Amino acid sequence: MKEWELCSRKKKQAGEQTYSESIIQCCLLMKTSYGLKLRQSKGFLESIFSLIRKSHLLVPDYSTLSRRQRSLPVKVSRRLECGENLTAGIDSTGLKVYGEGEWKVRRHGSSKRRTWRRLPVCMDLDTQEILSVALTGNREDDAAAGKRMLDGKRTHIKGFKGDGAYDDFGFREKLGAGIIQTIPPPRDAVIHKPKRNKPVREFPIQRNEAVSRIQAQGSRAWKEQQGYHRRSLNEVVMFRYKTIFSGELNARTIENQTTEVKTSGLRNIPANTTKRKGKTFAPSTALGMYPAV
């Protein structure tokens, strides 16, 4: 409210933005939380200010929200950089931009005007909190998106669990040998052996161990020993996201769509409390953070 009071009283200078980034983010957060369009969010906020006798406060119009949404910096979570030992998992789902519904596609096939995006989500498997989200085209594979999401943010990750889509040498090298990698190799995988005088590098060693154990004990026994089935918590995040926000995107450009899913990531949090470092934390439905209680 202080930001709103300040921008409503301050005289605008040439070339200066009227609304701060926090105001724009608040408007977009209200939009995603209540499933509104840009025009509807403006009227919704104006009615709220009228009820609390703050009708003098300025509300950005839909064109301003759409323009500022394109370059708005949104940080879903800072836990990847805050020094915790995280057990992370990444999975992706599809979000429709426009086109027919799934029933029509199954029944009659798809037409040319059917576009969707891929939404990779990185989460903490211990608390089910979303750590990072991204938005890619439907032609980029999961491993390439995962490398970009974890670039420079691997210091505080102790373990990673993912499905076979992340069994990529480039992604394993990005994780490094210091992170416990629970990624199932394919059925026809072979042990990576040294070539001539070159020893095996560090990042394929865990994969070689997984291949060796699966060949000796079977895939099911390896998954039970490694706790691989905790990776299914990623599917809970996908279900939670699509239940709250549906599986469609309202924005039409990739920049605005990226801001839209990041704003949704602020709102999409677990509903139960959790304990961390001896304190009880309850998720805040407004910010997606964990304030101590």
The 3-state secondary structure of 229-247, one letter per residue: HHHHHHHHHHHHHHHHHCC
Q: Kindly report whether the global pTM for this prediction surpasses the value 0.85.
A: no
Least confident stretch, 100-109, 119-128, 143-152: 100-109
64 shares its domain with 90: no
Could you tell me which of 138, 127, 119, 149 has the C-alpha nearest to residue 248?
119
Q: Do 101 and 239 have their domain in common? A: yes
Q: What integer is the mean pLDDT of 89-117?
A: 76
Whether residues 23 and 99 share a domain: the answer is no
Instruction: With respect to residue 293, please indicate whether it lies within any of the assigned structural domains.
Output: no
Q: Which pLDDT value is given to residue 97?
A: 84
Domain boundary residue, one of 15, 37, 69: 69
- Number of independent structural domains in the chain: 2
Alpha carbon separation from 183 to 202, 209, 253, 265 (Å, rounded):
16, 11, 34, 25
* 103 plus 146 within the same structural domain: yes
State residue 274's pLDDT score.
43
Specify the pairing of strand 130-133 against strand 115-124: antiparallel
User: Which of these, 109, 168, 105, 176, lies nearest to 140 by C-alpha position?
Assistant: 168
Is 166 a domain residue? yes
Considering the domain boundaries, does residue 138 fall inside one?
yes
Task: Say yes or no: 127 and 20 in one domain.
Answer: no
Q: Of 96-100, 189-193, 265-269, give the lowest mean pLDDT range.
A: 265-269
Max avg pLDDT among 49-58, 93-102, 195-204, 262-271: 49-58
Of 10-19, 184-193, 213-222, where does mean pLDDT reach its minimum? 10-19
Find the mean pLDDT for residues 94-99.
81
Residue that wins the pLDDT comparison between 103 and 281? 103
pLDDT confidence tier of residue 281, bands split at 50, 70 and 90: very low
Least confident of 93-97, 143-147, 195-199: 195-199
Q: What is the mean pLDDT of the chain?
A: 83
Percent of the chain with pLDDT over 90: 39
Rounded Cα–Cα distance for residues 4 and 201 (Å): 55
The boundaries of the domain holding residue 94 are: 86-276
Check whether 142 has a pLDDT greater than 80. yes
* Predicted pLDDT of residue 85: 86
pLDDT at 15 over 80: no
- How many Cα neighbours within 13 Å face the side chain of 8? 14
d(CA 289, CA 76): 9
pLDDT given for residue 101 in this prediction:
64
Both 142 and 263 in one domain: the answer is yes
pLDDT for 49: 92
